[in-house]
Amino acid sequence: MFYWSLIIIVLGIYSAYIFGKSRIKSNAKQLDIKTVSLPTYYAQYMMVWCLLPALIVYFGWIIFENQIIQNLVLANFDFELNPTLNPGLLIAEIKNVASNISFAEGKSIEIFNAAEHYSSLKFTSTVAFYLSILIFMILGVMIASRKLQPTFRAQKSIENYIKYFLFFCSTVAVLTTVGIVFSLLFESLRFFSEVSIFEFLFGTKWYPYIPIREGQSGSQGSFGAIPIFAGTFLIMIVAMSVATPIGLFTAIYLSEYASPKIRSIVKPLLEILAGVPTIVYGFFAFVTVAPFVKTFGQSLGIDASPTSALAAGLVMGIMIIPFISSLSDDVINSVPQSLREGSLGVGANKAETIKKVILPAALPGIVGAFLLGVSRAIGETMIVVVAAGTAPNLTANPFENVTTVTVQIVIALIGDQEFDDPRTLSAFALGLVLFVITLILNIFALRIVKKYRERYE
Amino acid sequence: MLKNIENDMSNQYSHEKIIQLRKKRSAADRRFKTYGLIATLMGMAILFFLLFTIFSKGYSSFQKSVIELEVSYDQETLKITSDSTYEEQVKAKFFRVKKNAIAKALPDLSKKDIKLINKMFSINVDKEIKEYFLNNPNILNTTQKIFVTAHSDVDQLLKGNARRNIEEKKRKLNDRQLEFFDEFVSSGRLKTKFNNFFFKNADSRHPELAGIAGSFVGSLFTLMTVFLLAFPIGIGASIYLEEFAPKNKFTELIEVNIANLAAVPSIVFGLLGLGILLNVFGFPRSTPLVGGTVLALMTLPTIIIACRASLKAVPPSIKEGALAMGASKMQAVFHHQVPLALPGTLTGTIIGLAQALGETAPLIMIGMIAFIPNIPTGFTEPSAALPVQIYLWVESSERGFQEKTAAAIVMILIFLFLMNALAVFLRSKFERKW
Amino acid sequence: MKNIKISSKNVNVHYGAKQALHSVSLNINENEVTSLIGPSGCGKSTFLRCINRMNDLIDICKVDGSITVDNEEIISDEVDVVSLRSKIGMVFQKPNPFPKSIFDNVAYGPTIHGIAESKTDLEEIVHSSLKRAGLLKEVKDRLHEPGTSLSGGQQQRLCIARAIAVNPDIILMDEPCSALDPIATAIIEELIDELKANYTIVIVTHSMQQAARVSQRTGFFHLGELIETGDTQKIFTNPDNEKTQGYITGRFG
């Protein structure tokens, strides 16, 4: 359907263009006046009015077609009489029968009839779709062609349409944020209607398995997210205690000590480190760092888990090093040269200048970089999914197995998703917490960095 | 007098103290510099260690183990004749030929031995035998020596990834199979050759057959979606914000949004894709279309930042010149500024695409994690993507997949490197000094 | 008596709270060169940019009063700025050819205004414009090389050719020679003298000698006010106003 409609629409707007151009030229000739805009703009005007109706029909169909057909087909089934029938499964079965994926043999006569009904509706809908695209395109052109007068400022209108389009492009970012907030809030509210928000935020037991049958053995599911938050925090602490010193010292070395040649070699290499996909770090953590941590723990007499907070945190720290170092490098470089000269001028050596003058001056920027690093560590997914555990242990021992917010989101959504099951919905509640925390960190950090930049501009 | 001496002494004392202090201070200076150097070297060392680990684990996956079999293409066994059509040949009983060949792989095999030795071959062997025949149909009724793919367990042992001097129970191959293995090796019938399957197959349950072609094509479709969506929208948004946006609260809101979107964790974009694109708009699950849409939203801030910077770099005198000629603002922007800003925008876009190529978490959320054993052919077909393929292989317990993982990572790193090199090339080629 | 081409009455310009022009009234004759002189920041460029409404580009700039071109008011929201600017060409202080070929630079105006009916038409216009700008001989064989590859003086003449190609009545020049060497300046000045037969030219200049050499009438601006206008000869030999006297004799400026 996509390719055929594409062809129809392209042909349509092409003929609208040709039509518009010849019509405006003949109109102008008849009245013997010059057009106020170039003929091309009138032709483009026709194109817009051919394209818009076609797009509206196309997207309208895509959004509503399935829903309407399904409702029409399912209207023949009485779900109150048959409480065991599941509409979702039923429609999938009907579709399979209709498209000959599964054989109709052994299926009830109702389903067979419904499949026929479905096929015929689908066929009608497809025919109607192409017809209405054509009709709407022609209607659009006909209505718009009344404007094809030499006195009509076609260029101005076209430019206004373009401006609307540009404006729409810039609102995509806003729409995305709205979409994120909407999807997270909506599913989270459903989650909190089944699990109390108080339990979620302050409960210490995470056991997201709700018994399928009444009275099944095993306890009731419980959704206390404290162990998850604690695990996230623990891994973040490990990561930042690796990334901050190495990143900061690298930045200091590169901006204050290193020769331009060394800089020009090291900086791109650090950029490579920053560009490595996080799943690669996950693999590295899994096959190299985790076994090392385990043997290291054993040599200390600690029984380390094969997927420890330490291994994941160390590798995550490595991932964040280039992030911290490049941000701090920018910040240190923007400390005015006059401060350096002032300090060196009274006889302080380089290290003292850096420690007593540059770092204090650059501190807000470095704090901002640190906060952005924290936000990354919290939101990082693949390293922890591969290298951290899944067990919600409430512990401060980095050799133990802990889990994080992102890991739990992935676990909840891999496999069967059922949007009436709190286990699936819990992913959205966790996502909401993640979004809010990282958002606060980012806004805070960006504000600090911005203030800092303004101070030295 | 006394005071003088005291003064002298204290002077002397303080002089010594100063020298000492100076020594201490310069030692501290050197120490501080060393810390910086150590930190930098550590970063570099980690990078090289990371790359070394991955390449050393991954390179062996570009080779596969093959075993020589004597296959007799006997027309009775195949149940075809020399006059058979191609269709009949395709349907011939190659599995019987394979069975016979494996039973005679080594001399004097008992029934139990045959069962064991059969497990040392890939399940793909009959297809390979068939392919060899279809390429050379005139070999009917002859016996051919063909190298066929070995099972992953044999492969791993040959490459030295699996150890043989451990308890039999912990080994994949038992003692008897090891005897066969040694016989194959000593007679030169077991060797490694270029692993074509890795590049032409999609995912498989059998490590020796699994390849990256499916996920590569999936990634390609995904990146194309990202480009088709994010590039025009990014340019449009940048033009609006740079040239047309009035200074008001809403414009400010847009700017703040773009800045914050750049720092939202990728997994949250995945939740957006699942909650809105899949559940509300009914996009098809597990497809490059949704994956690409989600990644496009993620890449948008990168492109917008790059495009706005390049638009800003175009000197205003160019626009003024056009306006003074009677061009409208839209014409001045589209005829002059946008073409000049395009190379810079393209560079930013490629860097954004490189980020999108490595992104895993959002694709897992929208279901691109399903096991897909064939190569996708369109935007709306379920498919895998390279980074998700890596994740799937990391998670599989079979040892054979571990080297696949590393090899797939090598491939993705090569692509990332090429993309970044292209970006650097574009930047240096089209960089304009005004 | 010559026809009055441009006439301004009580033009005030504000940049935010700061007033840049105070009630400027000035008539500019057809087919003459009028030069505007005065010390830096006196408002002469601001006045020039009012004539083709280039001040619209600056958000905080407010223009009031009246300017007519061919007896039509141009300081009004209803005026189509695009067609106004196609009637009034402008040459800037620093040559600003588009980073395109020489041909495309000149062809740009005719293309967007739909002046040329055909490709040969367009080539004709490009050639004649380059010829009138005295550049054709030098660039005839390399029309498809980038305009930015020319020398400064050639670039400025290319910008003049570009302005002429739209067939304007008026050409505004904002210190067109300030970035050029003396030889290039002399060529441009000669060109200006030739162009006045077909165009009304308003030139802002820093150099009093230049004003004396090329213009028939001169206006002297000081601190946003038009102090004195008159025949160039008179302004430079026997000005009425003391400030003008002071400026042209080099006592300030």
Q: Scanning every residue of chain C, which has its alpha carbon at the shortest distance from the alpha carbon of A153?
A: C80
Half-sphere exposure of A124 (CA within 13 A, CB side): 11
Side chain identity at residue B299, one-letter code:
T
Rounded to 5°, angle at Cα B138 from B135 and B142: 110
Structural domains in chain B (count): 2
B266 and B406 in a single domain? The answer is yes
Half-sphere exposure of A439 (CA within 13 A, CB side): 14
pLDDT of residue A73: 82
The total of other beta-carbon atoms located within 10 Å of residue C25's CB is 14
Residues of A in contact with B268 (CB under 8 A): 180, 184, 379, 431, 434-435, 438
The total of other beta-carbon atoms located within 10 Å of residue C155's CB is 23
Query: CA B322 to CA C48: how far, in whole Å?
Result: 17
The 10s digit of each residue's pLDDT in A276-300 is 999 999 999 988 898 899 888 888 8
* Helix (H) or strand (E) run with residue B68 in it: strand B63-72
- Please indicate, yes or no, if residue B202 is contained in any of the structural domains: no
- Please indicate, yes or no, if residue B71 is contained in any of the structural domains: yes
Residue A413 CB-density burial (10 A; 0-12 exposed, 13-18 middle, 19+ buried): buried
Q: The tokens of C28 are what?
A: 């500019």
pLDDT of residue A218: 47
B243 and B186 in a single domain? The answer is no
The 10s digit of each residue's pLDDT in A2-19 is 778 889 999 999 999 999
B389 and B272 in a single domain? The answer is yes
Instruction: Using the predicted structure, report yes or no on whether residue C116 has a pLDDT greater than 60.
Output: yes
Give residue C8's pLDDT band: very low, low, confident or very high (50, 70, 90).
very high
Q: The tokens of A250 are what?
A: 């690298």
Q: How far is CA B120 from the centre of its chain?
A: 30
Percentage with pLDDT > 90 across chain A: 42
SS3 content of chain C, % helix, strand, coil (to 5): 40, 25, 30
- Bridge partners of A206, per DSSP, are A223
B156 and B87 in a single domain? The answer is yes
Listed residues B194, B226, B258: the one ending a domain: B194
Q: b/e map of A184-206 (b: 16 or more CB within 10 Å)?
A: beebbebbbeebeeeebeebeeb
- A109 has a chain B CB within 8 A of its CB: no
Domains contained in chain A, CATH given: 2-152 (no CATH), 222-455 (1.10.3720.10)
Give residue A399's pLDDT band: very low, low, confident or very high (50, 70, 90).
confident
The 10s digit of each residue's pLDDT in A228-247 is 999 999 999 999 999 999 99
The 10s digit of each residue's pLDDT in A50-104 is 999 999 998 888 778 877 888 888 887 777 777 666 766 777 777 777 776 555 5
B294 and B180 in a single domain? The answer is no
CA distances from B257 to B193, B237, B260, B309, B345 (A): 53, 12, 5, 18, 20
* Helix (H) or strand (E) run with residue C45 in it: helix C44-51
The 10s digit of each residue's pLDDT in C13-43 is 999 889 999 999 999 999 999 999 988 888 8
Rounded to 5°, angle at Cα A439 from A435 and A444: 160
Helix axes A405-413, A422-455, angle to 10 degrees: 140
Query: CA C200 to CA B85: how far, in whole Å?
Result: 89
Residue A106 CB-density burial (10 A; 0-12 exposed, 13-18 middle, 19+ buried): exposed
Structural domains in chain C (count): 1
- C78 has a chain A CB within 8 A of its CB: no
Instruction: Give yes or no for a contact between C52 and C88, defined as CB atoms under 8 angstroms apart.
Output: yes
CA distances from C158 to C21, C124, C150 (A): 31, 16, 9
- Please indicate, yes or no, if residue B39 is contained in any of the structural domains: no
Percentage with pLDDT > 70 across chain B: 96
Query: CA B58 to CA B54: how far, in whole Å?
Result: 6
User: Residue B254: which of A174, A254, A427 has the nearest Cβ?
Assistant: A174
What residues 81-120 of chain C have any CB closer than 8 A to a CB of chain B?
82-87, 89-90, 92, 94, 96-99, 108-109, 112-113
B377 and B259 in a single domain? The answer is yes
* Full residue range of the structural domain in which residue B159 is found: 63-194
Residue B83 CB-density burial (10 A; 0-12 exposed, 13-18 middle, 19+ buried): exposed
Question: What is the β-pairing status of strands C225-231 and C217-222?
Answer: antiparallel
Residue B35 CB-density burial (10 A; 0-12 exposed, 13-18 middle, 19+ buried): middle
Residues of C in contact with B322 (CB under 8 A): 98, 108
Half-sphere exposure of B20 (CA within 13 A, CB side): 6
Return the minimum-mean-pLDDT range out of A196-210, A303-317, A433-447, C105-119.
A196-210
**DSSP code of residue B201:** -
CA distances from A391 to A279, A284, A422, C81 (A): 21, 21, 18, 70
pLDDT of residue C158: 94
Residues of B in contact with A380 (CB under 8 A): 265
- Please indicate, yes or no, if residue C253 is contained in any of the structural domains: no
Query: CA B65 to CA B124: how far, in whole Å?
Result: 13
Instruction: Using the predicted structure, report yes or no on whether residue A217 has a pLDDT greater than 50.
Output: no
Q: What is the mean pLDDT of chain C?
A: 90
Q: The tokens of B374 are what?
A: 């064939």
Query: CA C210 to CA C232: how far, in whole Å?
Result: 11
B152 and B241 in a single domain? The answer is no
What residues 21-60 of chain A have any CB closer than 8 A to a CB of chain C?
38-39
Cα first-last separation, chain C:
33
Q: Provide the number of CB pairs (under 8 Å) joining chain A to chain B.
A: 261
Side chain identity at residue B289, one-letter code:
L
Whole-number CA gyration radius for chain C: 18
- Please indicate, yes or no, if residue C32 is contained in any of the structural domains: yes
Residues of A in contact with B358 (CB under 8 A): 275-280
Nearest-CA distance A20 → chain C (Å):
17
Q: Looking at residue B307, which CATH number applies to its domain?
A: 1.10.3720.10
Q: How far is CA B231 from the centre of its chain?
A: 22
pLDDT of residue B374: 86
Contact between chains at B265 and A381 (C-beta distance less than 8 A): yes
Instruction: Give yes or no for a contact between A133 and A8, defined as CB atoms under 8 angstroms apart.
Output: yes
- Please indicate, yes or no, if residue B122 is contained in any of the structural domains: yes
Q: How far is CA C152 from the centre of its chain?
A: 18
Listed residues B194, B227, B253: the one ending a domain: B194
Q: b/e map of A294-323 (b: 16 or more CB within 10 Å)?
A: bebbeeeeeebbebbbbbbbbbbbbbbbbb
- Please indicate, yes or no, if residue B167 is contained in any of the structural domains: yes
Low-confidence ranges of chain B (pLDDT < 70): 1-13, 432-434
* Predicted TM-score of the model (pTM): 0.88
Query: CA B44 to CA C38: how far, in whole Å?
Result: 62
Side chain identity at residue C59, one-letter code:
D
- Please indicate, yes or no, if residue B32 is contained in any of the structural domains: no
Instruction: Using the predicted structure, report yes or no on whether residue C252 has a pLDDT greater than 70.
Output: no
Q: What φ, ψ does residue B364 adopt, rounded to 5°?
A: -65, -40
| Most confident of the ranges A22-31, A156-165, C57-66 | A156-165
pLDDT of residue A248: 95
Q: The tokens of A311 are what?
A: 């291994």
Mean pLDDT (whole number) for A388-412? 87
Give residue A31's pLDDT band: very low, low, confident or very high (50, 70, 90).
confident
- Please indicate, yes or no, if residue C68 is contained in any of the structural domains: yes
Instruction: Give yes or no for a contact between B78 and B114, defined as CB atoms under 8 angstroms apart.
Output: no
* Full residue range of the structural domain in which residue C109 is found: 4-248
User: Residue C83: which of B322, B323, B326 has the nearest Cβ?
Assistant: B326
Q: Going edge to edge, which strands form the sheet with C170-174?
A: C88-91, C170-174, C200-204, C33-37, C217-222, C225-231
B304 and B397 in a single domain? The answer is yes
Q: Looking at residue C163, which CATH number applies to its domain?
A: 3.40.50.300
The 10s digit of each residue's pLDDT in C48-79 is 999 999 888 888 888 989 999 999 999 888 88
- Residue C29, by phi and psi: left (phi above 0), alpha (psi -120 to 50) or beta? beta
Instruction: Give yes or no for a contact between A111 and A94, defined as CB atoms under 8 angstroms apart.
Output: yes
Q: The tokens of A9 are what?
A: 């629409």
